[in-house]
Each structure stands twice: as structure tokens, then as C-alpha cells.
Amino acid sequence: SGMRDLGYTTYSIHPESATNWNRDRVYQYLGFEHSIWIEDFPGAEKVHYGVTDLETYKKVEEIFENRQEDERLFLFNLTVQNHGGYSESDVNRSVTASIVASEEADIYLYLIRDSDRAFEQLIRYFEKQTEPVIICMYGDHQPKLSDDFYEKVYSQTEGIEEREKRLNMYKVPFVIWANYDIPEQAELDIGMSYLGGLLLDVAGIPKSSYFSFLNQYREEYPIITINGYEDGEGNFY
């Protein structure tokens, strides 16, 4: 709704049923003007759990190409290709885990490689555009593989504590990319609730009082999760 109020046309994209997790209602509450669901992907390529990441990126490009002159877009694309579980899948298991033998991990690793190649295609498309574009990609949690798999991995990891094992399940990378020069940062660890404010800062878009509050709070508590929090000095509680 904040982006809409700033004059952006807002889209949500999710190649699943609109009622999945009540998204048909939730996305309206969030202020999305347009929502794209599974029925908007007729004949789309599918792999593992559903519509491929690449097909959703094609939809992003389609919306971009069909925009009106001077129209500004905000798109939120929630992909499903790599969703668990990983015990059964139609993927070609051409990528294998090297530390611990696991068919589940093999499936996940193949899917991640496939997603990586699709994301590259998206970046290649937008780096050719003259209109300024920013892309933020992130995940919500690590794959839910068997406990036995993780325990075998951790048994080869010296000095890891039980607390770290729990936290690692929700530690995911994110990337903010633009087709023009933006300040570079690396090794930035933040709680996910702060990602929106960071993205607005990178884009140079005015923040609401809520996001301004979060940005200020991030200096004191850069990581807040359901499992604990970290203060500005690196102490975890």
C-alpha cells in the first residue's frame, strides 16, 4: 500500500491457489492492486512442486514490457518450485551432495541450481533495460530435509552449539541488485523484518514512519527472530 500511495502499480505473483494461506484476502489487506495466481499460468512448465521459477520470471518480464509509458511498477513474486518435501520428485538428480549421501539433498541441490540459472536469465534481461530496475531476492527458510541428514552434517562441524543448529534453519542469503550503480555492501546480517526498509533506502524511496522506526531500531538490534535476537554489539540472547 505504501508503494501504491507513491504512484506505483502493484502486483503480487504466486503460481498457486489464491486461497493458499488465505493470500487472496491477505494480499488485498496489504494493498496489492493486481494479483496473479495459478490460473494465470496456463501451459506453464512445471518441475518438482509446481510452476518453475523461470515461468514466473517470464511473467514479470511480460508485465514490464506491457506497462504504460512512465508507469512505475512494484512486483512481489513468490515462487514455489523448490518447496518441500524432497522424498519424491521428477527432477533429474544430476547434482549430488558430497559430504553426506542424501537423495533429498540431491533433489534440493538440483532445484537450487535450476533456480540459479533462472535468476541469471532474469538479471540478464533487466541489465539490458534503460529504465532503472532493482531486484531483491531472498528466501524464508532453509530446506526441511531429514533430521538425520542435518545431524550427519553437524557431526562433521566442530564447535557448533544446539542454539546455532536451530538458528541456521532460518539463516538465508539475500541479494539486492540494480541495473545501475548502487552502493555495495557485503556480509550484512539483518533480521528479515528490516529488509523492506533497507530496500527502500537503496531505491531512494521515502519511507513511512513504520519503516523509519525499523531502520532506527536495526542499529540497536540488527537481528530479531522467533528464536532469539542479537544486539548491536554482537551479543545473542
- Write the single-letter amino acid at 117: R
- Write the single-letter amino acid at 185: Q
Q: Is the dihedral of CA 120, 85, 153, 159 positive or negative?
A: positive
Task: Using alpha carbons, list the distances in angstroms from residue 198 to 120, 175, 203, 223, 232.
Answer: 23, 11, 9, 13, 17
Q: What is the pLDDT of the chain when averaged over all its residues?
A: 93
Dist. CA 200–CA 24, nearest whole Å: 25
What 3-state class would DSSP assign to 195?
helix
Dist. CA 159–CA 10, nearest whole Å: 46
Q: How confident is the model at residue 156 (pLDDT cuts 50, 70, 90)?
A: confident
Q: How many CA atoms lie within 13 A of 229 on its CB side?
A: 10
The secondary structure of 101-160 as a DSSP string is: --HHHHHHHHHHHHHHHHHHHHHHHHHT-SS--EEEEE-SS-----HHHHHHHHTTSTT-
pLDDT, tens digit (0-9, with 9 covering 90-100), for 46-96: 999 899 999 999 999 999 999 999 999 999 999 999 998 898 888 888 888
Share of the chain above pLDDT 90, in %: 73
How many other C-beta atoms can be found within 10 angstroms of the C-beta atom of residue 152? 14
Dist. CA 231–CA 236, nearest whole Å: 7
Q: How confident is the model at residue 166 (pLDDT cuts 50, 70, 90)?
A: confident
Question: pLDDT at position 80, please?
Answer: 94
| CB distance 98 to 105 below 8 Å | no
